[in-house]
């Protein structure tokens, strides 16, 4: 059965040879009785199989081979997650849980803590029969929160060492390949002919490589691009290299030493790529060369076994995790810190420009966006919005990793801020605020980190407001309230009137959500005074309505009517007919609550005329229904039926119009006191 929608795609089958004994043992361990079964207790959690070995030992290939053999037994599919990025960065439980929940098409609230997300994940998997492949686990602390609370699931973990702390783990520890399998892997990488005609030299080369799969791939890659080189010559070269130690660093040093200067420099700089994910633009910016030249170099590295291609509609590559530390050591000895920082800056600047292009292509009617596109080289422009959206989808993990690394670096904060602003705008342009909320939450948190570090109170206030808004939308109102208060303090420090007014109003909104009517009206009043002092009449009229709404909830109808009257006056002076009509409609409702139905009827009729003038059909229909209800309570059912019929005709005509025009919308206009003036 295919993996769930949205899951990480199954990787292309890596060279996998040998390991038949290990594969059989792992397969047998799935059905073997665990400690709980032997003691008479039902297994509380999923069985965990561990494939342990050093990076490059073929541990992931073995795990994938096991998954392919057993996937059919798990009808709810295969879920994959990498717990350590190829560059060695540990992946948080929050990120991993989100990845798996996305694969299961289960929404995860933005900003949720990792414990909450892990609990949601376990709850979802408790009712399924799925197989989880958790690659590159650093320790048991990463794996334990993700374990499904059901023995019907299976977890295959890949790690360098034991997962101490997780009970009843079945380990399979890998060393080098046996001679026959190692020769077979070498033949796959180098081509079978030279191996067949000189089997003794092939065996000597395998022995020099210690049967290490990654070392054999590098040796085979070196031979594959040198058809005239003899296997015996390579075996002797490697044998004569000074020093002892593991095979992989020795074979890598030999391969690297034979590269010309420019490709060698590019290879070193690939260690700076975020999460070791590389595309031609990244390589081009790091090395300071053209995009086509970078693409050619990356393809050459693939032939040598130095990078791996990623299955993707775009040209994507990955630096093997076992090579990243070796490349980093080379940069430390062969590149000056200033050169490395310049390479990072070029990469971030290129990423910013690509993101700006990605957003601008969605705005064909925006002169500024089109001017920006016209000023970009052809290599940085997208053919159409669909192509830009596809690029953003594929590169999103690397883009988010770039933002995290830029912030962690601390030396390129100006570029980091530009990158995060461009990434935010591109995500919103292509996915919308709601769909991109989890990623936006992470970005706003990074912006806050930089703002606090650099003591930028204006940006700190903006980040806090954005985070608080996301908290509020996901029901974490008290968290939102704390952030709104912090944003107010930062706004005052920055002397930013927009942030101050926005924060005051949002504090009031949070208290309103918590049904603390007194504090809500107090904070709305402070925000209103701030707006009035600055002559912001539109916002002031809206705030009168918010204050009136709070008084309505609290049952203080006299105060509510006074504030609705001020809102009506404000909207009338501002010339906002639709807002004027909505304010009158709310005023009519409060008049009815206060036991003044005749006044309510007159106010509602006035609102109907204004709604007609504003050409707001749904508001007219809603007001007609309100008139009908009021007339029924006043004892005039005939007039009530007329108004109700008029409302039904309006809504029917609008629905038909929407259907004809291919639009979508609600068939009724609900006037709510909590949102009518927002």
Tokens describing residue 609: 């005329």
The residues near 176 (Cβ < 8 Å, ≥ 6 apart) are 57, 182, 210, 211, 212
Burial class (CB in 10 A: 0-12, 13-18, 19+), 194: buried
pTM: 0.84
Q: What's the distance, Cα to Cα, between the start and end of the chain in Å?
A: 48
pLDDT value, residue 657 = 54
Q: What does pLDDT average to in each consecutive run of 10 residues of the chain (678 residues)?
A: 40 67 90 54 77 92 93 93 86 93 90 92 93 94 93 94 87 91 92 89 94 95 92 90 86 95 96 94 96 96 95 92 94 95 96 97 94 93 95 94 91 93 96 92 95 95 96 93 97 96 97 96 97 95 96 95 96 92 90 88 86 80 80 80 80 58 39 33
Q: Name residue 82's beta-bridge partners.
A: 135
* Amino acid 34: pLDDT: 55
Residue 51 CB contacts under 8 Å (≥ 6 apart), including other chains: 26, 59, 60, 62, 63, 66, 156, 157, 158, 159, 172, 174
Contact partners, residue 73, CB within 8 Å, separation at least 6? 131
Could you please report the per-residue DSSP string of 131-156? EEEEEEE-SHHHHGGG--SSTTSEEE
**So what's the pLDDT on residue 303?**
95
């Amino acid at each position: 059965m295919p993996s769930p929608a949205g899951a990480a795609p199954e990787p292309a089958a890596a060279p996998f040879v040998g390991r038949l004994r290990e594969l059989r043992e792992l397969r047998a361990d799935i059905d073997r009785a665990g400690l709980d079964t032997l003691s008479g207790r039902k297994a509380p959690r999923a069985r965990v199989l561990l494939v342990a070995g050093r990076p490059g030992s073929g541990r992931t290939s073995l795990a994938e081979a096991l998954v392919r053999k057993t996937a059919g037994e798990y009808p709810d599919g295969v879920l994959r997650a990498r717990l350590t990025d190829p560059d060695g960065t540990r992946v948080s439980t929050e990120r991993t849980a989100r990845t798996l929940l996305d694969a299961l098409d289960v929404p995860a609230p933005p900003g949720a803590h990792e414990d909450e997300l892990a609990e949601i994940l376990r709850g979802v998997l408790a009712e399924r029969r799925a197989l989880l492949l958790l690659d590159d686990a650093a320790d048991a602390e990463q794996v334990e929160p993700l374990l499904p609370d059901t023995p019907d699931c299976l977890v295959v973990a890949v790690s360098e060492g034991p997962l101490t702390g997780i009970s009843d783990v079945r380990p399979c520890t890998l060393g080098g390949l046996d001679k026959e399998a190692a020769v077979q892997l070498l033949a796959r990488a180098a081509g079978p002919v030279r191996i067949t005609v000189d089997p003794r030299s092939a065996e000597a080369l395998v022995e020099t490589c210690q049967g290490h799969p990654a070392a054999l791939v590098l040796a085979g890659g070196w031979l594959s691009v040198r058809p005239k080189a003899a296997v015996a010559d390579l075996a002797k070269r490697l044998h004569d290299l000074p020093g002892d130690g593991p095979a992989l660093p020795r074979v890598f040093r030999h391969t690297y030493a034979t590269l010309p200067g420019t490709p060698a420099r590019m290879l070193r700089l690939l260690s700076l790529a975020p999460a070791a994910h590389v595309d031609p633009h990244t390589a081009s910016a790091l090395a300071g060369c053209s995009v086509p030249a970078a693409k050619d170099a990356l393809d050459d590295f693939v032939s040598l076994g130095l990078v791996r291609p990623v299955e993707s509609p775009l040209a994507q590559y990955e630096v093997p995790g076992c090579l990243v530390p070796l490349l980093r050591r080379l940069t430390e000895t062969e590149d000056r810190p200033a050169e490395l920082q310049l390479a990072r800056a070029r990469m971030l600047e290129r990423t910013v420009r690509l993101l700006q292009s990605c957003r601008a292509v969605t705005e064909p009617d925006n002169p500024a966006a089109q001017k920006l596109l016209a000023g970009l080289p052809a290599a940085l422009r997208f053919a159409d919005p669909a192509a830009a959206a596809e690029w953003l989808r594929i590169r999103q993990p690397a883009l988010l990793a770039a933002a995290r690394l830029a912030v962690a670096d601390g030396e390129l904060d100006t570029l980091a801020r530009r990158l995060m602003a461009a990434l935010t705008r591109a995500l919103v342009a292509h996915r919308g605020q709601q769909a991109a909320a989890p990623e936006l939450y992470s970005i706003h948190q990074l912006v806050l980190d930089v703002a606090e570090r650099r003591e930028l109170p204006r940006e700190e206030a903006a980040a806090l407001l954005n985070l608080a808004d996301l908290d509020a939308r996901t029901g974490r109102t008290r968290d939102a309230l704390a952030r709104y208060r912090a944003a107010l303090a930062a706004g005052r420090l920055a002397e930013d009137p927009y942030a101050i007014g926005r924060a005051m109003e949002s504090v009031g909104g949070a208290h309103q959500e918590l049904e603390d009517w007194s504090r809500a009206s107090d904070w709305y009043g402070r925000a209103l005074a701030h707006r009035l002092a600055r002559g912001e009449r539109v916002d002031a009229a809206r705030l009168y309505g918010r204050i009136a709404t709070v008084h309505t909830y609290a049952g203080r109808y006299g105060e509510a009517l006074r504030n609705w009257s001020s809102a009506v006056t404000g909207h009338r002076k501002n010339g906002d007919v639709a807002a004027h009509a909505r304010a009158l409609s709310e005023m009519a409702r409060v008049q009815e609550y206060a036991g003044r139905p005749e006044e309510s009827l007159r106010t509602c009729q006035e609102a109907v005329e204004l709604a007609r003038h504003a050409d707001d059909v749904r508001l007219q229909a809603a007001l007609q229904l309100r008139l009908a209800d009021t007339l029924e309570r006043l004892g005039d059912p005939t007039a009530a039926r007329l108004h109700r019929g008029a409302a039904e005709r309006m809504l029917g005509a609008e629905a038909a119009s929407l259907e004809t025009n291919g639009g979508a919308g609600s068939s009724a206009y609900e006037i709510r006191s909590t949102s009518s003036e927002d």
